[in-house]
Structures are given as C-alpha cells and as structure tokens.
C-alpha cells in the first residue's frame, strides 16, 4: 500500500513539472538570413530586426543550434563571439557552418529570436556561383559593393578595395565606375578591410558583370499585315497576324495588339489572342507579335475592320485590315477544263482533218503568189509502160486516161500535161518535154510495181525513148527541175502493191523524194475510190496548187 502511494505521488510530480514547462510562452520568430562565406575571411553580422533597436547587451544571447546547443562566447579574443546584437567571425572555418540564434529576452518575460544560417566554402576559384551576389546587367556604368560587405565597412569604418578576376583595380569606394562593354565583363570583388582589437580583418563579396547589348528604340513599323485585304472563307478558321518592329534589344516598350472596329479586342467565344515577343538572334531586332484566331468566320466579320496597333517607346503605328470573301475556284476550274478540252479537240481536229480543213478554207484566202504565176499546166504527169504485166498495164492506162483527167480536170478544173495524150504531132520531143516542164507547176510521178531504173531492155520488149518515161529524158528533166532548180514540187502516186525490195530499185534522186514525202497509194477496187471527194483524191488535191492554172487559148500553147 505504501509502495502504490509512492508511485502515485511521483507521477503527479512529473505531470505538474511538464505542465509548468508547457505554460512558458514560446519566443517570437523574426526570420532567418542566409549567407555563403569564404574560409579565412571575417564576417560581421547584425540581423535586420536588431539593426535599429537599442536592446541592452545583457538581454541578448547568441548560441549555435547544431547537433547540440552551443553557447557563443562574449570574449572578444575568441574567433567567434558576440557583442550585443552583433556576431563576429574573425577567421571563418568550414566547421563554422550552421544556424546561429540570437535570443532577446527582456525582464518583462517577452521572448524573440533571430536566425543566421551560414555555409563556409574553402578558398578556391572566384567563379563559384554560390559566393556571387548576383549579376549586374542593367547597371548605369557602375558596380555596387554587395550589401553585407558595405554594411560591415560602414559599421566598422573599414576601407574599400576592388579586384577584377583576382587582379587589383583602382577603386576605393562602395561603387566602382566601369564602362558597360564586352571587354569589361568578368567577376568584380569588393573587399572591406576593417580593424577589431587592433587587428586587421578582411570581408569580401563578388558580383559578375555581364555587358548588356545596346538598346535602340525606333518608331514602330508594322511588318504584318502588309495588305489591306485578306481572303477568308465563311465558316472556316482564320489567323490574323499582327507583327510590329520596335528596335534593337527592346524589352518592355514594344506591344502589338488588335483593335476591332476601333475598340480593344476582348476575349470571346470563338476568338483567341496569342501574344509573343521575339528577339532575332542575328540582328537582335525586337518584334512583337499577336495572332488573332477566329475559329469560324461569320458574316459580321466581313463587315468589321481589324486594326493592327503597335506601341513603341515614343510613338505608335497602325494598319487596317478587312476580310474579303474568297472567290470560288470552281468557275476557274470549269473554265480551265473547257479551254483544255477545246485545245485537245482542236488538236485532234487539225490532226485528223488537216487536209479537209485546208481544202475547205483554200477558196477564202487569196494567193498573191498564184496570181503572179503564169505557168499553163498544173502538173506534168510521167509514168512508164515497159516491164509490166498485162493487169498492171491496164490499171495504169485506166488511171492515166480515165480516173486522173475525170477528177482533176473535169471536177477540180486543173490542167494536166499527160505524155502521149497531149503531144503535138511533128514537134521535136526533147524540145517539147523541156518546154512543157517549164510550163508546169507540179511533177506528178506514177509509180507501178514494174517501175525500173535506166533504159533497160528485155527479150520480149525493147526499150524505146517513146515509152520509157522514168529513166528517160522526161524523168531527167523533171528531176532536174525539182531537185536542182527547185522550180516545181513533186507528187508521188503508187499504183498497186510495192515491190518486195521496196523502192531501192528506183533512181537515187527519186528515192530521196520518196523519203521526204511518202507516195499516195491508189486504193483500186475500194468503194468510192473514184469519187472526187474520197480520201485519196483529197490528198492529191491537197498536194496540187491551191488554185488551178489560168485557162489559156489553145493557140497560145502551140
């Protein structure tokens, strides 16, 4: 029973002690400040909360809150000590890194705490970014000493010196004047040398200088839109681009916007704005762009005026744009198809009916050259009668004496000179051939399967100058007029089938003419071949002169 009572009294005592501790008020927290410091230097610190306060030294207590609470000494000979609100580090070591607490506890019982967090780096290159107090790009040709170093120098009457990339500079104040150019870029270190207890200590802080590119403001120039109208399709999406050029390296005073019917555009359903600003890498030109997206173009949009408005530092610029209905491409396509079809039809028509078209339009085109041509005959007909079988000879006689004159002379009005039919009795043959050749405008050569070169003879039928035309004097004179003098054209007509050897048995001059113009083949036996408007006779008429020779009196020929 006594044991139970003893345990109960002990538990009551512990609970009362814990409740008394919890009843003590907590200290008010006034924030923490952090610094990155360099080993071997000195550091002087006063929290912002205590800078302008007049707290008695006896009310201030400093201690380090590390793995265990360490009280800071007030002995000024110690490397780390405090004097009232000020905390001194006379020779920093990496072991000094940690959190330090300044507690203010006046007799009234109120409690407040300030925190200092430091990290000490070993001495090394000054490029350590953690030790830099930012970069100066927008400075006005000066570099300011970092605030902690300046505060130390001002509070302890220290002296300023400056270094650039660890090399000493001429400068003895809290500000260092430099020209903001590329060659001045680097790390500038502000060093404060101060004295404590007749010993000199050093505190430093560094900044990196980055030379900024020159800023050149220009009057705004509207780069887009360049046209006053833009085609659009009703019911479809369209993007309107407003781009404004403001100068070089302009960061703030460059704005592009859209105005609709003179009012600032407001976001609405189906309309979106996408602003952006771009500095071109090469020229460093500043271009401000805003894109107005209309998801579905309505009839009202075609009546509205869209104004691209650019604002620079001193001036403004604007350009008005209206939407226009895009013309349908269907009529253009139909027109193009029709033109293409007409061209194809015309090409096919000309290709297939070139001869018919030429014959159709001949009477309507006067030929001056024909009017000056005084030759009497339209064609001089040459052929041969030797080395032929009976069937070929009958076919040739029928064609020369019947078909040829009945169509060309009777139906078409041409005048032909046919050897044997138009000879004048008693006239010298050589003189007759020469004269009639000169009076003829075409040389018509009738080729038969039995046509041969030269004045060859056979056992059954000797060659004679009267019936040997091809290879004789008639052919020689005609070939001379066609190939040498070029006074007449040639018309080649093939009767019957071509020999197996082709035309190789003919004279070289005639072979040359055949290569230039293939002979017109007489379709003997075909229905309608003898008709004057058949395909064969159309081709022959096409090769004949455009107008028949003028009719002459018979007396003028004799």
Token output for 137: 């790009």
Q: Looking at the structure, do residues 270 and 338 belong to the same domain, yes or no?
A: no
Number of neighbouring beta carbons within 10 Å of residue 381: 26
Residue 258 bridge partners (DSSP): 308
Q: Report yes or no on 6 lying in a domain.
A: no
Residue 167 bridge partners (DSSP): 164
Domain that holds residue 243: 216-325
- Rounded Cα distance between 58 and 356, Å, is 130
Q: Looking at the structure, do residues 111 and 237 belong to the same domain, yes or no?
A: no
State how far the alpha carbon of 313 is from the alpha carbons of 218, 241, 242, 254, 494, in Å.
8, 22, 18, 7, 94
* DSSP strand pairing (271-279 vs 255-260): unpaired
What's the pLDDT at 12? Answer: 45
Q: Looking at the structure, do residues 357 and 411 belong to the same domain, yes or no?
A: no
Q: Looking at the structure, do residues 96 and 178 belong to the same domain, yes or no?
A: yes
Backbone angles phi and psi of 334, in degrees to 5:
-65, -45
Q: Report yes or no on 60 lying in a domain.
A: yes
Q: Looking at the structure, do residues 334 and 252 belong to the same domain, yes or no?
A: no
Report which secondary-structure segment, H or E, holds 217.
Answer: strand 216-224
What's the pLDDT at 399? Answer: 87
Q: Looking at the structure, do residues 414 and 375 belong to the same domain, yes or no?
A: yes
Q: Report yes or no on 18 lying in a domain.
A: no
Q: Looking at the structure, do residues 479 and 545 belong to the same domain, yes or no?
A: yes
- DSSP secondary-structure letter at 159? E
What's the pLDDT at 41? Answer: 92
Token output for 185: 């870029």
* DSSP strand pairing (199-209 vs 520-522): unpaired
Mean pLDDT per block of 10 residues along the chain (558 residues) reads 49 44 63 90 88 78 80 89 90 91 85 90 73 68 87 91 88 81 82 92 89 78 89 89 87 84 68 75 78 89 90 88 84 89 87 76 66 80 77 85 88 86 77 85 83 39 39 73 80 82 77 84 73 83 82 40
Q: Looking at the structure, do residues 264 and 408 belong to the same domain, yes or no?
A: no
Count: domains in the chain: 4
The CATH number of whichever domain residue 43 belongs to comes to 2.60.40.10
Q: Looking at the structure, do residues 293 and 395 belong to the same domain, yes or no?
A: no
Q: Report yes or no on 504 lying in a domain.
A: yes
Q: Looking at the structure, do residues 35 and 143 belong to the same domain, yes or no?
A: yes
**Tally of helices (H runs) and strands (E runs) in the chain:** 12, 29
Token output for 466: 């009267």
Number of C-alpha atoms within 13 angstroms, CB side, residue 365? 9
Q: Looking at the structure, do residues 351 and 371 belong to the same domain, yes or no?
A: no
Last residue in a domain, options 363, 380, 411: 363
Last residue in a domain, options 164, 192, 209: 209
Q: Report yes or no on 15 lying in a domain.
A: no
- Rounded Cα distance between 50 and 31, Å, is 12
Nearest alpha-carbon partner for 283 in 333, 247, 242: 247
Report which secondary-structure segment, H or E, holds 508.
Answer: helix 508-516
Q: Report yes or no on 9 lying in a domain.
A: no
Contact 504, 497 (CB under 8 A): no
What is the secondary structure of 36-83 as a DSSP string? Answer: EEETT--EEEE-HHHHT----GGGEEEEEESSSEEEPB--TTSSEEEE
Backbone angles phi and psi of 167, in degrees to 5:
-115, 135
Q: Looking at the structure, do residues 345 and 412 belong to the same domain, yes or no?
A: no
Backbone angles phi and psi of 8, in degrees to 5:
-65, -40
Last residue in a domain, options 270, 299, 325: 325
What's the pLDDT at 340? Answer: 92
Q: Report yes or no on 2 lying in a domain.
A: no
Q: Residues 446, 451, 455, 461: what is their CA dihedral angle, to the nearest 10 degrees?
A: -110
State how far the alpha carbon of 360 is from the alpha carbons of 299, 364, 509, 530, 550, in Å.
57, 8, 33, 20, 21
Q: Report yes or no on 1 lying in a domain.
A: no
* DSSP strand pairing (379-382 vs 238-248): unpaired
């Amino acid at each position: 029973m006594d044991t139970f009572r003893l345990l109960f009294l002990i538990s009551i005592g512990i609970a009362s002690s814990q409740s008394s501790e919890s009843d003590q008020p907590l200290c008010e927290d006034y924030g923490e400040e952090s610094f990155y410091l360099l080993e071997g230097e000195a550091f002087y610190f006063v929290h912002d909360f205590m800078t302008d306060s007049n707290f008695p030294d006896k009310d201030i207590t400093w201690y380090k809150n590390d793995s265990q609470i360490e009280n800071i000494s007030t002995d000024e000979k110690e490397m780390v000590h405090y004097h009232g609100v000020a905390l001194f580090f006379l020779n920093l070591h990496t072991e000094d890194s940690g959190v330090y607490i300044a507690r203010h506890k006046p007799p009234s019982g109120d409690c407040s705490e300030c925190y200092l967090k430091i990290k000490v780096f070993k001495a090394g290159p000054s490029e350590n970014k953690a030790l830099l107090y930012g970069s100066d790009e927008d400075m006005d040709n000066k570099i300011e000493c970092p605030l902690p170093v300046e505060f130390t120098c001002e509070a302890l009457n220290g002296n300023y010196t400056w270094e650039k990339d660890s090399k000493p500079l001429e400068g003895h104040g809290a500000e260092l004047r430099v020209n903001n150019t590329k060659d001045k870029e680097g790390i500038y270190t502000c060093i404060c040398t101060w004295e404590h207890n007749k010993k000199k200590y050093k505190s430093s802080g560094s900044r990196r200088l980055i030379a900024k590119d020159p800023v050149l403001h220009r009057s705004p120039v509207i780069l887009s839109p360049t046209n006053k109208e833009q085609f659009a399709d009703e019911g479809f999406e369209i993007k309107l681009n407003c781009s404004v050029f403001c100068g070089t390296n302009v960061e703030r005073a460059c704005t592009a916007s859209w105005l609709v019917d003179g009012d600032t555009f407001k976001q609405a359903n189906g309309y979106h704005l996408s602003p952006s600003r771009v500095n071109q890498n090469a020229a460093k030109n500043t271009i401000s762009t805003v894109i107005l997206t209309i998801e579905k173009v309505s009839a009202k949009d075609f009546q509205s005026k869209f104004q691209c408005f650019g604002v620079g530092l001193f001036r403004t610029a604007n350009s008005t744009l209206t939407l226009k209905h895009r013309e349908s491409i269907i009529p253009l396509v139909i027109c193009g198809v029709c033109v293409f079809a007409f061209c194809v039809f015309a090409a096919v028509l000309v290709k297939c009916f070139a001869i018919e078209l030429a014959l159709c339009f001949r009477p309507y085109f006067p030929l001056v050259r024909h009017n000056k041509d005084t030759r009497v005959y339209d064609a001089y007909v040459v052929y041969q009668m030797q080395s032929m079988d009976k069937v070929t000879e009958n076919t040739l006689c029928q064609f020369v004496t019947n078909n040829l004159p009945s169509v060309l002379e009777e139906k078409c009005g041409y005048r032909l000179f046919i050897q044997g039919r138009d000879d004048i009795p008693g006239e010298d043959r050589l003189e007759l051939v020469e004269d009639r050749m000169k009076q003829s405008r075409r040389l018509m050569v009738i080729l038969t399967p039995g046509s041969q070169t030269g004045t060859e003879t056979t056992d059954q039928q000797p060659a004679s100058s009267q019936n040997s035309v091809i290879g004789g004097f008639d052919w020689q004179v005609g070939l001379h007029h066609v190939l040498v003098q070029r006074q007449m054209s040639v018309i080649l007509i093939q009767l019957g089938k071509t020999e197996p050897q082709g035309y190789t048995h003919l004279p070289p001059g005639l072979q040359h003419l055949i290569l230039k113009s293939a002979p017109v083949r007489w379709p003997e036996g075909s229905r309608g071949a003898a008709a004057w408007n058949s395909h064969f006779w159309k081709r022959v008429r096409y090769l004949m002169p455009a107008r028949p020779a003028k009719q002459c009196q018979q007396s003028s020929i004799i």
